[in-house]
Amino acid sequence: MKLIKHISILFLILATSIASAQVKFEAKVSKTTLGINERLRIDFEMNQDGDNFVPPSFENFDVVGGPNTSVSNSWRNGKRSYQKTYSYFLAPKSRGKFTIKQATIEIDGETYKTFPITVNVTAAVSKPNGSTAASDTANDKIHLVAEVSKANPYLNEAITVVYKLYVSPDIGVNSWREKETPRYNDFWSQNIEIKGINALEGEYKGERYRYVVLRKTVLYPQKTGALKLEPLVLDITVEVPSNRRDIFGRALMTKVPRVVTAGSRTINVKALPEQGRPADFTGAVGTYEFNVTTSKTQLNATESLQAKIEVKGKGNLKLFELPKLTVPSSLEVYEPEHQENVRTNLSGMQGSISDTYTIVPQYRGKYPVPSISFSYFDPNSESYKRITSDEVIIDVIEGPTAASSNAENVAVDNKQSVNPTSHTFAFIKTSSNWSDITSEPLFKSTRFWLLLLLPFLAIPLAIIFRRGRDKRNADVQGNRIRKADRLAKKYLGEAKKALGKKEAFYLALEKALHNYLKAKLNIETSDFNKEKIESLLAEREVQSHVVSDFLSILENCELARYTPITQVTMQNDFDKAANTISLIDKQLR
């Protein structure tokens, strides 16, 4: 009996020691039901150290924090207690029930797995989680602000948007990343490079804060009315004081994931006034100087000179066209060379743009280059202003004299009295020397036989032509290709005539594309939008890359109105449009 008792005690001790040596590896979540605006914490805990830890994919969540690793190793009553934890902070992507799959780790050569965990994501809650006090602290102590220099600018007037992250001195920011980057639809935009992130002292709503500038952007509105700026959204890991204290009584910091947004802003863009608008106004807005200069005013024929039209100042320098140079027809003028020396900072574009023309005179004489005027709208005075250049005289000293100018000079400078004589009209013949022409009879002549045989020679030619036409008509694919090419030429004819004139060309090109769609898809211009065009062409079995090319050309037509375009770019867009229309017509079912 005593033996059985001792054996039982021995088995009990062995079972206890085996249980104490058992490996534990499990996953724990902060909650199984959470709002879509809350954060989920998941801990993977083990009681022995391991290798090759592989977390689940978290496919329905964004990882906003982690992995954070913590190790606890202690001795109590002669027994060792060990715990290692991998922690992640997760943000749900959408509402619904999601399963977090297994994590794996290797301990002493064995692979261990956690059990899957199901989490229910509901609608947003009024008080997001975290440590409640820590989350509330983070909400109150961190702010993302979009500072706009002007909320009601004129069309094409520069405004700036500066994004600042304000953080209270009581908390810290561990890391951040951009979750959503703003897109500036209906604006010409340029980001200003920020060299280094420096913490500065400032105030937010009357309280002392530290802040950093994250983004600086210059915007030029291209449409009037209420235009929305999309918000900047950041994922931030914030360190806030917790209710726990260290051995010295200082509050321990806890990490809280936060999503902060600058909020959307509305810019009310005013149209430029119609009253007082000059006829030669091309969209320049700002404050400018205007000059027309020539490299020389005296030269010989066939020598060259340069005439430079230049605008300097501050404003939308890249978004308007310079006035054109007009000279007498006796001067040969080449296409201008466009140059831009523009820098962009927080106050907008500054610098100069110019067109330099090369002029080569052909004849001797004095040629006036007429004065040129440049108009712009000054938003400071809210009025239009015009600058007119002086007339320039080009004096060609040596060279041939044009026939018309020679005759004119003789008529004007060398007037002489005319004394008629008996020989004044001696050059006119008053007698003739006529001779009879004897015509050859038509019958049996060479011409007679040619006319007789011509119908017989035409018969085989007609047969050959007829067979060629029948063969051509039977070539269905070839006819489709030829028809498509003719159609492209028909619709793009006006655009081809306007090549070199940016506004007229892209207006004609856009009209051609619209007319083509109206003819082929039977839809009205008012129904045009990207999604409908894409779906209709896809239904008619047009290949996706061809549809993308067509839509990109339409976008180019819109963008080209606000940006400088070269002759080469216009030619490329024309060729691409002709090729795309031809491909669509071949593929339409």
Query: Taking the domains of the chain in order of start, what are their residue ranges?
Result: 21-127, 133-269, 286-396, 476-587
Is pTM beyond 0.75 here? no
Same fold, 21-127 and 286-396: yes
Rounded Cα gap, residues 535 and 521, in angstroms: 11
Rounded Cα gap, residues 236 and 40, in angstroms: 15
pLDDT exceeds cutoff 60 at 519: yes
pLDDT digits (tens, 9 = 90+) for 159-182: 999 999 999 887 878 778 888 888
pLDDT top residue among 549 and 469: 549
Best CA proximity match to 214, nearest among 173, 169, 180, 163: 163
**Burial of 305 by CB count in 10 Å (0-12 exposed, 13-18 middle, 19+ buried)?**
middle
Structure confidence at residue 284 (pLDDT):
94
Rounded Cα gap, residues 218 and 149, in angstroms: 10
CATH of 476-587, picked from 1.20.120, 1.25.40, 3.30.70, 1.10.3470, is 1.20.120
Residue 350 phi, psi (nearest 5): -140, 150
What is the mean pLDDT of the segment spanning 339-350?
Answer: 91
Q: Is 512 helix (H, G, I), strand (E, B) or coil?
A: helix
pLDDT digits (tens, 9 = 90+) for 408-439: 343 334 444 444 544 444 445 566 666 655 55
Structure confidence at residue 137 (pLDDT):
64
Q: Which two tokens stand for residue 246?
A: 């260290």
What is the secondary structure of 371-397 as a DSSP string? --EEEEEETTTTEEEEEEPPPEEEEE-
Packing angle, helices 530-539 and 544-559, rounded to 10: 150
Q: Which two tokens stand for residue 512?
A: 């051609």
Structure confidence at residue 407 (pLDDT):
36
Architecture of domain 286-396: Sandwich (2.60)
User: What is the chain's length?
Assistant: 589
What is the secondary structure of 142-162 as a DSSP string? EEEEEEES-SSPBTT--EEEE
What is the mean pLDDT of the segment spanning 569-585?
Answer: 82
What is the dotted CATH code of the domain comprising 21-127? 2.60.40.740
Q: Which two tokens stand for residue 323?
A: 């006035």
pLDDT top residue among 238 and 435: 238
Q: Which two tokens stand for residue 394?
A: 């080009």
Rounded Cα gap, residues 166 and 119, in angstroms: 34
Rounded Cα gap, residues 25 and 55, in angstroms: 12
